[in-house]
Structure 1
Amino acid sequence: MTTAKVFDGHNDFLLRLLRNPANRETTFLTDTGQGHLDLPRMQQGGFAGGFFAIYISSPAPETDLMAQMNNPPYALPLPEEVPLSEAQPVALAMAGHLKWMERASDGQFKICRTSAELRHCLDNDIIAAIMHIEGAEAIGPDLDALYLFHDMGLRSLGPVWSRPTAFGHGVPFAFPASPDSGPGLTPAGKDLLRLCNRMGILFDLSHLNEAGFNDVAAFSDAPLVATHSNAHAISPSSRNLTDRQLGMIRDSDGMVGVNFATGFLNADGRKTSDQGFDAMLRHLDHLITHLGEDRVGFGSDFDGAEVPVKLKDAAGLPALCDALRAHGYDEPLLSKISHENWLAVLERTWRD
């Protein structure tokens, strides 16, 4: 296996820290074999950086939704909106965990605010972190908190994590299903989009329903980016993107990060993880056909999803890169997919 630099569009590592703050030193600084990410496995696997998501969990459901997702077809109900008063303290705590990671790493991990900082980190083997909010419940419709989070390092934001917010509506978890599942951005959501454009904050399309996607395409002056989504034509999950949406992303010079979650990779929608990389390769081939080789990357969903067993965790990224080579992807294309395309679209979006 050959290590390549991999920049990743999405992970939920901060949620692991939030759930076990007393052991965060062990969770981040040592290889415990738990979850998908920690500093040693990032370094071992060539994980050069990525989007670290601030995400507010929904209350635990009374039924086992994961079991239903293992037995398609399914159509799961969405949780209720999380109030600002509950979301904001949690988001601040997670931002604090990310700042702690920077301090605890002894110079091996850095929160990046500019494209120049990103490139410096990749050139010097420093793991480059982007602060990302997945579901904007912590912002509030007056948008004042966006300025504060931006000062803390926020450079990417998704208005929804599937459940509704003051800003828009996400796709329910359903298979097989269309992403066309309800109304689009609210007036507050369009205000949030415009302010993100002005501030150079990436506006993430993953989890947003089709009407919301269309609103972003109509009102945004930035590239359209889905940080962790797959091809609906290969796996007809509501979370995946149709060919029409892919064409709109291509025309905006945007980007899609391939999600490693098996339930969004597999053609039958099941979350089985005993397969190799074949499903991921089918999605990559389809996305490259519809987007071009300059607009596709990785969006793993590490620590937030079940991934193929042959990958296992961040230390398995060299095996994925070797699978792409064996599939016929040459080194220039592999470099684009593994990190160069992400850096390029962030330069176009941040405009710094």
Structure 2
Amino acid sequence: MNAIAIPGNPVYLGSFMGNVHVFGVYGDSRTPAMQVATVEAVGGNAVIALDVLRGPKGATGTMVDPIKMQYDLGVETVGDLPSNLLPADKGKTWWIGNQVRHWTGDRFIARPMGSQGAPGPIPDITFVFSQVGPDEAPGISQTGTVARPVVHIKVAPPRGPAGPAGYISLAEDLLGVPADGQVPMWSEDDNKWVPTYPTLRLPQLFSFPSSAFSAFTGTAQRHTVLNASIPALPWDYTPMVSGHIKAVGVALSTDPFKVGAEVRMGDAITGQLIGRGHGNLSTLATIMPHYSTGTDTATAVAPGNGVAVVPAHTKMDFHVNLFNDGLFGSFDFDPATGPHLSILAVPAE
């Protein structure tokens, strides 16, 4: 019957014939016996005992985080790792490929697992440096791929001393070389500043003497006796008229015949009314600014409303019509009576 093997009990392995030589080794009480063995023999049985080498007790080691392996078949790549882990999940670890991903409580760390893999490709890194503006903070950002990353570095170099003021004559949006007395003026056609002599927007006065009027004798309700024009001006303006004219005639009734005058711009009949002189018994009509008519009593001139405005760079015609303010009849007009018309071109908004 075989004996049951119990730890610590000797187990018979075999028998052999041999000679035993015993030596003594000098030593002290502080040095272990090293290769020295103790042999105890009783009858035909002997036991060899060796001293155990034991050093001094070492320092206490640091605690390591527990490893909680997660065997989740749904996690096969790094992209499959959960994104909702909390500090309480610290220690959870997933084995992906030849690495483990260990959750530290706030992030994942990767550790090699198993045999070492082949060296990966060397990335082709491109650095792009740029200077930030006055209100922009420096920083670093990365684009591109893992194999070919592009690192954008925005730097704020130290600002140097202020330089001299630039010359207006060297500006890229200035067209031409300025002459004495010229100032930059914006040109819509060239889309640049153009050296130009300044033009003051002052009222311009134009007058038309008696010789500019045409004589008339006949029967009519309205007849034009002056056709005049003002050349184009470099700014918008509103004409302000004044003058006088005298016409005499006989009404075909017992009522007095009253001949007045009107001034229109553009067309002699349908143009904007800008002046009126009402007929009276003295036969002398005084022309004053007037813009409304019997059919349009609300027309008036005001800054910015566009009434009676001549656009810049536009030649404008003006007409003086004799106008019958009384009964129908014939009348006579002679320029020798001294008619006169003045037009003051007032700059308009």
Task: Please state which band the TM-score falls in when normalised by the shorter chain.
Answer: under 0.3
Larger strand share, 1 or 2: 2
Which structure is larger by alpha-carbon Rg, 1 or 2? 2
- TM-score normalised to structure 1 length: 0.15
TM-score by length of 2: 0.15
